[in-house]
């Protein structure tokens, strides 16, 4: 059972590595800073005009 779980985890990690290399044109993100007593939120974006 442990070997099956290990193989499954390795396959899933390999699948994520393949998807990480795909090309994309736009991305959106949200940053949250939970430092000290203040909380800051910030949106970010990225767009590529040329590939």
For residue range 1-51, list pLDDT tens digits in order.
778 888 888 877 766 655 555 677 888 888 887 777 777 788 889 998 886
Q: Are 44 and 28 in contact (CB under 8 A)?
A: yes
pLDDT of residue 51: 64
Biggest CA–CA distance in the chain, Å, is: 49
Give Cα separations from 19 to 9, 28, 35, 42 (angstroms).
16, 17, 32, 26
38-47 vs 26-35, strand pairing mode: antiparallel
pLDDT of residue 16: 60
pLDDT of residue 45: 92
- pTM (predicted TM-score): 0.40
18: number of Cβ within 10 Å: 8
């Amino acid at each position: 059972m442990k070997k099956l779980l290990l193989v499954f985890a390795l396959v899933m990690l390999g699948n994520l590595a393949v998807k990480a290399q795909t090309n994309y044109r736009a991305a959106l993100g949200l940053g949250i800073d939970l430092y000290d007593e203040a909380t800051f939120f910030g949106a970010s974006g990225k767009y590529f005009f040329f590939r």
